[in-house]
């Protein structure tokens, strides 16, 4: 993948969390522990991530995880909650922050590769990461594609609100809920990203 292939990065969150995020930052799992918030995270996956150390870096839970593309297997699992969720559009400028790491697949995978940003973009398979589907008749290939769809950008500690360019929601009802927060960022309906 090249930097020119990227328009934005994605962060999946509960709409109710956005007011807190916009008044401060998107926080790493560790930093968000003491803050009242609603999580999208699946507990089984978080147990895996809790044990993972980024090679040459810090524990995985000390990074904010952004996706190259939110329409991925992780989001598919929680799609039934689409009315309560949004995808924050994050500027690719975060790639230039100190200590940012890129993964070629889900960071909790045993086979994930890690590389410093922005040069680390070269390890990401653009075709697999932005593919419409990750299914395949060969189960090993399906697993590889599924993991690649979840390639991540790992930002140490937090992503400041100034990097948030807007948000996507799944439907009009979600857009109205987002609008009720009184936050002045562009919000658009993109039902495709939410598997609708």
Q: List residues with catalytic annotation.
A: 49, 152
Residue 25: how many CB atoms within 10 A of its CB? 20
Q: Are 46 and 29 in contact (CB under 8 A)?
A: yes
Question: C-alpha angle 65/161/48, rounded to 5°?
Answer: 15
DSSP 123-159: GS-HHHHT-S----SSHHHHHHHHHHTT-EEEEESEE
Cα–Cα distance list, 14 to 53, 64, 85, 124, 172 (Å): 26, 15, 4, 27, 16
Q: Are 167 and 185 in contact (CB under 8 A)?
A: yes
Q: Are 105 and 125 in contact (CB under 8 A)?
A: no
Q: Are 59 and 65 in contact (CB under 8 A)?
A: no
Q: For residue 113, what are its two tokens?
A: 């590769």
Q: Who's near 15: CB < 8 A, 6+ residues apart?
A: 84, 85, 86, 169, 174, 177, 178, 181
């Amino acid at each position: 993948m090249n930097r020119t292939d990227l328009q934005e990065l994605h962060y999946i969150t509960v709409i109710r969390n956005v007011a807190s995020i916009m008044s401060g930052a998107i926080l790493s799992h560790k930093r968000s522990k003491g803050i009242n918030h609603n999580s999208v995270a699946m507990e089984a996956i978080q147990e895996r991530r809790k044990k993972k150390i980024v090679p040459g870096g810090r524990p995985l839970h000390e990074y904010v995880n952004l996706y190259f593309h939110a329409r991925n297997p992780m989001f598919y699992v929680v799609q039934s909650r689409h009315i309560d969720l949004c995808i924050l559009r994050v500027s690719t400028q975060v790639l230039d922050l100190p200590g940012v790491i890129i993964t070629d697949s889900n960071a909790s995978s045993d086979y994930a590769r890690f590389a410093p940003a922005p040069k680390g973009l070269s390890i990401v398979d653009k075709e697999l990461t932005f593919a419409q589907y990750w299914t395949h008749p060969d189960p090993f290939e399906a697993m590889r594609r599924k993991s690649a769809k979840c390639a991540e950008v790992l930002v140490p500690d937090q992503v400041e609100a100034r990097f948030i360019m807007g948000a996507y929601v799944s439907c009009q009802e979600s857009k109205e809920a987002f609008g009720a927060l009184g936050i002045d960022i562009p919000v658009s309906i993109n039902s495709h990203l939410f598997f609708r």
